[in-house]
Amino acid sequence: MNWFRTQSHGLIWLIVAFAIISCSEDKVGELPADVGLKDYYAPEFLIGAALNRRQITGESTEQMDLIAREYNSYTAENDMKSMHIHPSRDEYNFDVPDKLFELAEKNGAKVHGHTLIWHSQLSRFIREIEDPDEMRQTLTDHINTIAGRYAGRIDSWDVVNEAVEGDGSLRESVFYKVLGEDYLTLAFDLAAAADPTADLYYNDYSMTGEAKRNGVIRMVKKIQENGAKIDGIGMQAHWHLETPTLEEIETSILEYAALGVKIAITELDIDVLPNPRNVSGADIGQRAELSDEINPYKEGLPESVNEALARRYEDIFRLFKKHEDLISRVTFWGVNDGNSWKNNFPVRGRTNYPLLFDRNNKPKKAYHQVLQVKSGV
């Protein structure tokens, strides 16, 4: 087995070395057909992407090669959230999730499940539960059925998503209101029983703020003290060109990792637009009105901003590489700029440029810089 692993690592490096030699800066659009970021970063961590329904089902024909080439971990952007996968008590929709697994298995990629327990995009029947026994039974059915179905095939799960507020207190979600904080340990216990082999994560946004960080650490310690299996913390990285600072990101990675868990950088995108009312993270309650002033790049991304984005991506990937021993996966929240939720948050209808590929699926300067952190070319 070890011999095999060494040999396959060697093979990956041979391919990567070939790619480095045959690819110079101005030829980044012409990378060898099947070598992408996932290969360059294979020794460090997985490179993932959130896929929307058209990508999962293969309808986005123009993106399928890119997806196969660049990423080795897939997450459904929406289709495994409760309102889609478990819309009413006795109804489960596994069609699209099953297709995600088929695509991943065809491409040799892993699947990260998003998400078992979340207050948002939550099926109505769960939102309306008031009785603790009914809630416990519902969580048990939900987790057993979904995590059980993909047991052994899935790499990891966001078991609980966004349970902590900015001030570090626990969010008063329906789960919290009905079961108190015990729902957290229960969710991790149920997931571990349904699939003992998957890595189990807690995932949240604005994870670099001090008050929230302390709240998350307190919560995870409690889950650990209660004897539940929690393997990792997902730091959603809905970040901006200047914020959070590299120091804040690094401190957070180190403090979370000190809990003895893996760190995944999840939901990575870099917002390049003016930030109305200083919205941070992904609280979808925070929205602002559209105006020309806050939608300045409708006609295209100025080169200066394209370069600033490339530098920002380079800086954060240097940091991720520095802490490769702590980081298991880096997942982009979307494939190209046109697909990104950031075109509609926190203002609907803007033209944003947060990812590595442009609206025509061409790699941007940021792609090259991320690659350069590894290749040195």
Residue 284 near ligand 9MR by CB under 6 A: yes
Based on CB atoms, which residue is closest to ligand 9MR, 213 or 374? 213
**Catalytic pick among 25, 162, 293, 307:** 162
- Least distance to ligand 9MR, CB of residue 134, Å: 25
Among 102, 267, 299, 307, the one annotated catalytic: 267
Query: Closer CB to ligand 9MR, residue 80 or residue 310?
Result: 80
- Count each helix (H run) and each strand (E run) in the chain, helices first: 14, 8
Give the residue, chosen from 45, 341, 357, 367, that forms a contact with ligand 9MR under the rule CB under 6 A. 341
- What is the C-alpha R_g of the chain? 20
Kindly identify the residues of this chain, within the stretch 177-216, that bind ligand 9MR according to CB under 6 A. 205
Q: What is the rounded end-to-end Cα distance, in angstroms, of the chain?
A: 33
Q: Determine, following the binding rule CB under 6 A, whether residue 337 of this chain makes contact with ligand 9MR.
A: no
Residues of 177-197 as b/e, b for ≥16 C-beta within 10 angstroms?
ebbeeebbbbbbbbbbebbee
Question: How far apart (Å, rounded) are the C-alpha atoms in residues 141 and 190?
Answer: 9
> Site for ligand 9MR (CB under 6 A): which residue of 22, 121, 243, 245?
121
Question: Could you say whether residue 74 binds ligand 9MR (CB under 6 A)?
Answer: no
CB closer to ligand 9MR, 205 vs 256: 205
Between residues 40 and 205, which has the closer beta carbon with respect to ligand 9MR? Answer: 205
Residue 232 φ then ψ, to 5°: -160, 165
Q: Which is nearer to ligand 9MR, 77 or 189 (CB)?
A: 77
Write the CB contacts of 245 (distance below 8 Å, at least 6 apart in sequence). none
Q: Measured between alpha carbons, how far is 75 from 101 in angstroms, rounded to an integer?
A: 10
Q: Is 162 an annotated catalytic residue?
A: yes
Q: Is 245 one of the binding residues for ligand 9MR (CB under 6 A)?
A: no
> Is 77 among the catalytic positions?
no
| 78 forms part of the interface with ligand 9MR (CB under 6 A) | yes
Number of residues in contact with ligand 9MR under rule CB under 6 A: 10
List 129, 198, 282, 330, residue binding ligand 9MR (CB under 6 A): 282
Query: Is residue 39 a contact point for ligand 9MR (CB under 6 A)?
Result: no
Please, which residue, 17 or 284, has the CB nearer to ligand 9MR?
284
Give the Cα separation of 200 and 189 in Å (integer). Answer: 10
3-state secondary structure at position 170: strand
Range 248-267, binding ligand 9MR (CB under 6 A):
267
328: nearest Cα among 232, 260, 244: 232
Is 214:168 a contact under the CB 8 Å cutoff? yes
Q: How far is the CB of 332 from ligand 9MR (least distance, A)?
A: 11
What is d(CA 36, CA 349) in angstroms, rounded to the nearest whole number? 31
Residues 6+ apart with CB under 8 A from 200: 156, 157, 159, 188, 191, 192, 229, 230, 231, 232
Q: How far apart are CA 163 and CA 143, in angstroms?
A: 17
336 counts as binding ligand 9MR under rule CB under 6 A: no
The answer to whether residue 286 forms part of the interface with ligand 9MR (CB under 6 A) is: no
CA gap 180, 175 in Å, rounded: 7
Residue found by looking up tokens 């087995």 in the block: 1
Residues interacting with ligand 9MR, by CB under 6 A? 77-78, 120-121, 205, 236, 267, 282, 284, 341
The residues assigned a catalytic role are 162, 267
